[in-house]
A and B are shown apart, each in its own frame.
Chain A
Amino acid sequence: MADLEARAVTKRFGGVLALDGVDFEADAGEVHALIGENGAGKSTFIKILTGAVRPDEGEVVLFGEPLAARSPRDAASHGVAAVFQELSLVPDLTVAENVWFRRERLTPLGTISRRRVRRDTRALFGRLDFPPLDPDIEVRSLSVAERQLVEVAKAVAGDPRVLILDEATSALSPKEVSWLLDLARRLAAGGMIVVYISHRLAEVREVASRITVFRNGHSVGVTEGAAASEDEIVSMMLGRRLERLYPDKEATATEAVALRVRDLRFGHRLRGIDLDLREGEILGVGGLQGQGQLELFLSLFGVLRARGTIELDGRPVKISSPRAALAAGIGLALVPEDRQNQGLLLPKSVRENVTLAVTKRFSRRGLLDLERERALVGDAIRQLSIVLSSPEQPVGSLSGGNQQKVVISKLLLTRAKVLLLYDLTRGVDVGTKGEIFQLMRNLAREGYAILFFSTDLQELIHVADRVAVISDGSVTGLLEGEAITEDRILRASVAGGTAA
């Protein structure tokens, strides 16, 4: 019998059968990957293991004992810790306070000793060989990637027997990813059961000893990590072969500059960025994590007030807010970094979310034309094949990948011609990634200008027409055509101005 075993687990949400008699096994000492398309039921399964969701049928057995966790806290007391796909840190507490949240050892007076919390965090970070991060900084000011790292530390801090990582690398840069993979391997070697969920198959094959594949609420197979080729895994996931992930690059870029940025400055995060984004072009933005890429996107979208000049279609524009960005000239629209806090109204319906930025498009004499709205939403859902039971469903109940599709359809409806795509494919499955890249190419062909940031080097290499590498707040390399290689991007990332 396996150390962690789930038998015939079934879960229904209203009319949706999220899990249908799923069996699952993992052993201590292994990193066990769990993969599957968006909406396959991975997160639901994890939520059942951790007691966040109660199964309708089936049982979970951990080291021979039935585990019926009533809440994630209860699960933690049984040694099951998880990093959930939807991050759950307390924004107003510091990194250290979050790591030990509700687990603080108290002083004799019953208060929390900040000094101790800090010291424990430093010790933990040392033990984990943690990427540099100030334990005293408030979580509110961290990027999504940094929050993911803190979640990992928090989960590991309790020395669990089972560690579950649900897309914990989705926002991480390659360097941080390899740190986390190392950590997972080390923890497993120490006798932990590590369950690892990711849509990045290269990672999965690298780290996992075994891979369980979910499709449509069923477990459709288990394979050895190294034994199966990526193609085979993908076929198992999708139930069909994936013809290709990346569409051919096409020379769709014209001479016309859609977005011209000159000497963009924001504190010490942006130190004078110059960029030319042409109509029909996909311009990739690369570099190590936190070199100013996020600030660049936020400045262009008017969230941050940066200094410098921005021209749209040859005309200087002043962008003081997202509203101004959407309305300026040919329009600037953003897919934001943080889907939960910037992209979507989670409790509201898919319909309201899709049309939120374009309510004007279906108003007539001040009143909303709801028929027209329904039609717009219907088209959007079809165009991106969003999987849902009804457009009236709260967007928060969609799977992560389908939520991201809602964000994209919201962006497309704005009709802005300059698209700022920040980590667009985060949490999106391979099949859908392929569709999204094709969509980007189609948009470029239609004359859209696309600025594209990704933490995944392969995406930059295979999708972007040119790649601007940003280091320490300025562009340190501009690669084109054959020159876009992993090696050149990495070299420009650390070179600081010499690789152009």
Chain B
Amino acid sequence: MTTFALRRLGQNRPILLAYGGALALFAVTSAFSPGFASANHIRILLIQASFVALVALGQSFVILGGGIDLSVPWTLNGSAILMTLFADGQNRPLVWVIPLLVALGGLIGLVNGLGITALGVSPIIMTLGMNVILSGGLLVYTNGSPTAAAPAFVETLATGRVGPVPYNTLIWLALASLATVVLTWTAFGRHLYALGTNRMVAQFSGIAVSRVTVVTYVISGMTAAFAGILLTGYVGQAYLGMGDPYLFASVAAVAIGGASILGGSGHYLGTIAGALILTVLAGLLPILNLNTASLQVIYGVVILATVALATLPGRLAVTR
């Protein structure tokens, strides 16, 4: 099983490239900034990377199937805010609050998926519309007022550790393994790649194209909601707008990880490298001592350049 995973990785030049890039970037940054490579700071980087990586997990499934989910920011945000409201700083309610919110995220994905497959709305419009609806709904619901602090348990989940390894990283590892198994060793994974490569061929091959599509959006809704819960634990509270950076970041992580943005090729293993690159980059730029506005510009430019580089081998292969 593992040899196959390695072979698969070997075939996937873009994925290896992404890991190479992540390592190189990390080395460069460490050279500029002593302490960047300390065990403590690496832990922090891993925790920060996990939020992008979780949102990008669902996004990977959606993009592999040829879609895109633009509703992740407010799915994440909604789950974060509702969690603090429902739990009200207490640990006990979390037994039902966490499953409920993950399920709600899945429900949002279900509506997205059904809108796209049954009603034929384009993925961009459907999920963008959903994002707007969710943001409006939350504003009305919370009345714009601040919410309670994150319960202690959620904070522990997000920042605590067993031995040297953060809980957070363990959770991420578990979900990443699950995603890898699903993509590589299940019929669903095969069908998903087929769907993203050519919808009509998938349909002619007897694949339940609509069902597979809907499931990817459900997964995306669930991972965004779960990321919202963990992120609240990390930040200590929920606030309006906390999900906004995760739209661009999740799509960029998938693309940097070597997936085709049109679907059909790529892997979550690549997305992980994409999330790591984005996180190290966010750590490198402040070292350059620029103001936040310039940072944003550089961040954007570097990401676009990375995506262009990551997709270059594919395009060269086509024009060969």
A residues apposed to B, CB below 8 Å: 301, 303, 321-323, 325-327, 334, 336, 341-348, 352, 355-357, 359-360, 363, 366-368, 370, 392, 410, 414
Contact = CB atoms under 8 A, between A and B. Distances in A.
Contact of B190 (A322, A334, A342, A352): A352
Interface residues of B, number: 23
A231 B7 CA distance: 48
A410 B181 contact: no
A343 B201 contact: yes
Interface stretch (B95-103, B202-210, B235-243): B202-210
Interface in B160-203: 181, 185-187, 190-191, 193-194, 197-198, 200-203
A322 B205 contact: yes
A62 to B, nearest CB: 24
Nearest to A327: B206
B200 A357 contact: no
B201 A341 contact: yes
14 contacts: A303-B204, A322-B206, A336-B204, A342-B201, A345-B197, A345-B198, A345-B202, A348-B264, A352-B190, A356-B207, A357-B205, A367-B186, A368-B187, A370-B4
Nearest to B187: A359
B186 A363 contact: yes
B265 interface: yes
B190 A347 contact: no
Given A359-B190, A363-B187, A342 B204 contact: yes
A341 B190 contact: no
Given A323-B207, A327-B206, A370-B4, A344 B190 contact: no
B187 A357 contact: no
Q: Which 3 A-B pairs have the closest CB atoms?
A: A359-B187, A326-B206, A357-B205
B12 to A, nearest CB: 13
B197 A357 contact: no
A343 B185 contact: no
Contacts, number: 72
Which of B187, B207, B208 counts the most A-chain CB atoms under 10 A from its CB? Answer: B187
A343 B204 CA distance: 7
A356 B181 CA distance: 18
A325 B185 CA distance: 26
B191 A359 contact: yes
Nearest to A323: B206
Interface string B87-125: 000000000000000000000000000000000000000
Nearest to B11: A392
A321 B204 CA distance: 9
Contacts of A356: 190, 194, 201-202, 205, 207
Interface of B: 4, 11, 181, 185-187, 190-191, 193-194, 197-198, 200-208, 264-265
Contacts of B194: 345, 348, 352, 356
Contact of A348 (B193, B204, B207): B193
Contacts of A301: 204
Contact of A341 (B198, B208, B265): B198
Contacts of B264: 345, 347-348
Contact of B201 (A321, A345, A360): A345
Contacts of B200: 341-342
Contacts of A348: 193-194, 197, 264
Contacts of B186: 363, 366-368
B205 A410 contact: yes
B302 to A, nearest CB: 29
A347 B197 contact: yes
A344 B185 contact: no
Contacts of A325: 206
Contacts of A345: 194, 197-198, 201-202, 264
B206 A368 contact: no
A348 B264 CA distance: 9
Contacts of B197: 345, 347-348
Nearest to A357: B205
Nearest to A359: B187
Contacts of A357: 205-207
A489 B202 CA distance: 36
Nearest to B4: A370
A334 B205 CA distance: 9
A323 B208 contact: yes
A32 to B, nearest CB: 28
A325 to B, nearest CB: 8
B198 to A, nearest CB: 5
A343 B4 CA distance: 27
A446 to B, nearest CB: 22
B192 to A, nearest CB: 11
A242 B186 CA distance: 44
B203 A344 contact: no
Nearest to A363: B187
Contacts of B201: 341-345, 356
Given A345-B197, A346-B198, A360-B187, 18 more contacts: A303-B204, A323-B207, A326-B206, A334-B204, A336-B204, A345-B194, A345-B198, A347-B197, A348-B193, A352-B193, A356-B190, A356-B202, A357-B205, A363-B186, A363-B187, A367-B181, A367-B186, A368-B186
Contacts of A355: 190
A345 B66 CA distance: 14
A303 B202 CA distance: 12
A216 B202 CA distance: 33
A414 B197 CA distance: 21
A392 B203 CA distance: 23
Given A347-B197, A367-B186, A322 B265 contact: no
A364 B203 CA distance: 23
B203 A322 contact: yes
Contacts of A359: 187, 190-191
Contacts of B11: 392
A336 B185 CA distance: 28
Given A345-B198, A347-B197, A368 B204 contact: no
A367 B185 contact: yes
A40 B112 CA distance: 49
Nearest to A326: B206
A322 B181 contact: no
Nearest to B203: A322
A334 to B, nearest CB: 7
A336 B201 CA distance: 10
A173 to B, nearest CB: 23
Contact of A368 (B190, B202, B265): B190
